[in-house]
Amino acid sequence: MITIQDLARECEVSIATISRAFSPNGRINPETKEKILKKAQELHYVPNTVARSLQGRQTHSVGLIVPEISNSFYISAIQKMEAQYRDKGYRIVIGFYQQGTSNEAEIIYDMHSSRVDALLFSPTDRSSEKILKQYFPPNHVLQLFSKHYEEYSSLCFDDIRGTELATEYLIGKGHTRIMYFGEQERSVGYQRVMAAHKLSTDGLLYASRRLDAYDAETCIVATRPTAILAIAKWSERIVSALNRLHLRFPDDIGLLVYDDVEWASMFDVTAVGHPLEEVAERSANILLHILNQKEHFTPIHELAMPFITERKSVPSIHRIQTAI
């Protein structure tokens, strides 16, 4: 591997001159700079930007921790954020954890070891509180999508409002037997709207952190819903259950997915969407703002509003023939 010392010898200049040649603001004769860059290309020299930035105690990198790399929502979010942060001069270092291989605390430590300037993550609870506070000061952390720490800034989606919008949409189509599949936290909006319309949720509320296809099939047979509201990470299992029951959407049942994942658009499924471009930009602005707060830090807590992306998977109730 070619080092900066090797390149300096080849170009017959000092190491400091080499450093200035690769610095955007380095003061150097244009001809000398051109000579150095040409030789660097010939020798396949790559400047150690991380080592150089550590001398200034900054790596211009941000750690982004997500809990489920297989979730297409996070893939979309990562793509938007990577582009936004790159435009602002930061690179994204991605880490993810999953049950049985690693946990949140381990990834937080790995991010600290990688010398990231700040941390973006979606906490599932406060189990990593000790290591988080040990390695990252409050103005170097931004919670995304979920919030469990009041002392750290956050930018989340208003998921309760999202389930309210989704439930109102289904009721507006004439549905009164609406089955909810998702986490307990988001179900608040569903329950609130159903209660406001004096509609029963008995047997129709499946609020849990886990779901298998058998659970979904059993619930659908037992409750006979005319429409289903399901979080994205369970939606494929819901569709599998519907297929086994020979139920098709929108002919036999309505389907609305929470999170506008790629497959939803491919199969014309109505979904709760999120402004990912806006969130990527807002997160970068918030993080850069709090990083500059050296004293008297005050955490920032903001919400992004979801919206309904209407497609063709939710028919009006008069079109549905009971098929279960």
| 153-157 vs 270-273, strand pairing mode | unpaired
Lowest mean pLDDT among 10-19, 40-49, 220-229, 273-282: 40-49
* 163 and 268 co-located in one domain: yes
CB count within 10 Å of CB 89 equals: 9
* 291 and 150 co-located in one domain: yes
* 193 and 269 co-located in one domain: yes
Q: Within the chain, what is the greatest distance between any pair of CA atoms?
A: 83
- Quick one: pLDDT at residue 50? 43
Q: Cα torsion for 256, 259, 265, 271, to the nearest 10°?
A: 30
Residue 54 lies in a domain: no
* 118 and 253 co-located in one domain: no
* 153 and 286 co-located in one domain: yes
Structure letter (DSSP) for residue 296: S
- Quick one: pLDDT at residue 169? 98
Upper half-sphere CA count for residue 193 (Cβ side, 13 Å): 22
pLDDT of 320 above 60: no
The pTM score is 0.75
CATH number reported for the structural domain that contains residue 104 in this entry: 3.40.50.2300
Domain limits at 200?
Answer: 159-273+309-319
Report whether 128 contacts 108 (CB < 8 A): yes
* 34 and 183 co-located in one domain: no
Per-residue pLDDT of 167-189, as tens digits, reads 999 999 999 999 999 999 899 99
Overall domain count for the chain: 3
Tell me the mean pLDDT in the region 236-256. Answer: 94
Residue 55 lies in a domain: no
Q: In what order do the strands lie in the sheet with 153-157?
A: 91-96, 61-66, 118-121, 141-144, 153-157, 301-304
